[in-house]
Amino acid sequence: MKFGWRIVLGSLIGFLGAVFGSVGGVGGGGIFVPMLALIIGFDPKSAAAMSKCMIMGAAVSTVYHNIKLKHPALDMPLIDYDLTLLIQPMLMLGVSIGVIFNVIFPDWLVTTLLIILFLGTSAKSFLKGVETWKKETIMKKVRIQSMQQQFLYAGDPSIETTSFLKNVCWKEFGLLAFVWMAFLALQIAKNYTATCLVSYWVLNSLQIPVAVGVSMFEAYGMMSGKRVLSSKGTQQSSFKPRQLSAYCMFGMVAGLVGGLLGVGGGFILGPLFLELGIPPQVSSATSTFAMMFSSSMTVVEYYLLHRYPVPYGGVGIANIVHKMERHQYMGFESLCN
């Protein structure tokens, strides 16, 4: 790869993608993947792998900043650890499934899914942004009369910082780290097992009880009232099993799409958190915190699949067109090869 206008333009777009992705808590994959495929020239699968590296870097730096901040209206961390503990295990389970699909799916299908995803999420995000702007405008007018409700939408623009050690919920953080380490151990063990043997699928399947067990532990605590979404303050509501199961499934879908297409998954988590009544600042910080775990695990899985260093063809999506012209095989690939 030679230095030229593609590298300069791609670097600029990548920088802007990291900025906007970190602010909105969406990761930036919706900008990284098209940039890597259309401008730099990577094939869709390589673009997905590179995008996850970029998302991981942006997420780590953003979490380093957010982890010292406090809630805009409550005396608690900006990151909602209980919400992360509910979503993150299923998010990582979805990532493992998505990476397998990325290996199996042909390039043209990955490209088609990317186009559908970006068109759909762009339209939905625009409409959601207009709706949120209208709500914030109304809330600003009544905020003076009801200061206790200011965190629902607009929040306090000045967010306090505090000591890192005092601002982390270490019990919840320890459980999140346990899930990440358990997945890492299973991925490494699987790497030393012949693909598609019984032991290979057993190791793959062991990820399910780890993810489901931790998410069920958190969900049971929320149903019994022992654990709450503290970032909502006094606006608490009782959760039903069906609701919590749906939230966990949304987390798994976000991970699946992220592992398959190289996006962060925040485009699903962000709107989900807002629907739960989480303040926008907390929603963005919590989504990025969860993506730090999932994106780093995706990078590990791609590395174990020998996707790094990424091969550069210099043609990107145009390579798919050349394959079609030469009538080359463009079907599903075997995971067992």
Per-residue pLDDT of the chain (337 residues; tens, 9 = 90+): 677 777 788 788 878 877 776 666 566 777 788 888 778 878 788 888 888 888 888 888 888 888 888 887 777 888 889 889 999 999 999 999 999 898 888 878 888 888 887 777 666 666 666 776 777 677 666 665 555 544 444 444 455 666 667 788 888 899 999 999 999 999 999 888 888 888 989 999 999 999 999 999 999 888 887 877 777 665 666 778 888 898 899 999 989 988 888 887 777 887 788 777 788 888 888 888 998 999 999 999 988 888 776 655 545 555 555 555 565 555 677 777 6
> Concatenated DSSP letters for 233-270?
TT---PPPHHHHHHHHHHHHHHHHHHHHH---SHHHHH
Angle, vertex CA 227, rays to CA 224 and CA 228, nearest 5: 110
pLDDT, one tens digit per residue, over 307-321 is 776 655 545 555 555
Percent of the chain at pLDDT exceeding 70: 77
- Residue entry with tokens 């030679």: 2
Tokens (6 digits) for 52: 């996850």
- Quote the CA–CA distance of 258 and 55 in Å, as a whole number: 10
Q: Write down the pLDDT at residue 293.
A: 92
Q: Write down the pLDDT at residue 151.
A: 47
Q: Write down the pLDDT at residue 154.
A: 47
pTM: 0.79
> Which of 51, 11, 7 has the alpha carbon at shortest distance from 30?
51
Q: How many residues does the chain have?
A: 337
- Quote the CA–CA distance of 34 and 13 in Å, as a whole number: 10
Q: Write down the pLDDT at residue 152.
A: 46
Contact, 219 vs 88, CB < 8 A? Answer: no
pLDDT, one tens digit per residue, over 272-294 is 887 777 888 888 888 889 989 99
- HSE-up of residue 302 (Cα within 13 Å, Cβ side): 28
Q: What is the CA radius of gyration of the chain?
A: 21
pLDDT, one tens digit per residue, over 86-132 is 999 999 999 999 998 988 888 788 888 888 877 776 666 666 667 76
> Concatenated DSSP letters for 88-149?
HHHHHHHHHHHHHHHHHS-HHHHHHHHHHHHHHHHHHHHHHHHHHHHHHHHHHHHTTT-GGG
Q: Write down the pLDDT at residue 296.
A: 92
> Which of 258, 78, 233 has the alpha carbon at shortest distance from 158?
78
